[in-house]
Copies of this chain bind each other. A is one copy, B any other.
Amino acid sequence: MGSFVAQTFQAKVYVTLRPSVLDPAGTAVRSGVQQMGYQNVEQIRIGKYIEVTLQAADEAEAVQQIDQICDRILANPVIETYRFDLTPLSETATTTAH
């Protein structure tokens, strides 16, 4: 009789352009904001915010997988950086009979 406990985690991933990379979309939004009367807005930079829900045996496994997923799909490491927070959502106990 083996027992496998899987936990559900949610990662909040923030993907931003590296500081040296120009952000034309952000500059365009800043112009729009300034034309609407908010002249005190100095800079706007636009990134991505991604919520990933996944199952993993423990937090270490979840961190490792999210890291791989960010590197391979969610971010382009050449021009972007990412960081994420991980929160446990619940615990699901799955018992497997042998």
Contact = CB atoms under 8 A, between A and B. Distances in A.
Given A41-B53, A45-B50, 7 more contacts: A16-B49, A32-B73, A38-B54, A40-B55, A40-B56, A42-B53, A46-B48
Interface residues of A, number: 34
Copies assembled = 2
Interface of A: 6, 8, 14-16, 26, 29, 32-33, 36, 38, 40-56, 65, 68-69, 72-74
Nearest to A23: B51
A69 B56 CA distance: 39
Contact of A73 (B36, B47, B53): B36
Nearest to A8: B42
Given A29-B74, A38-B54, A73-B36, A47 B49 contact: yes
Given A36-B72, A73-B32, A73-B33, A43 B52 contact: yes
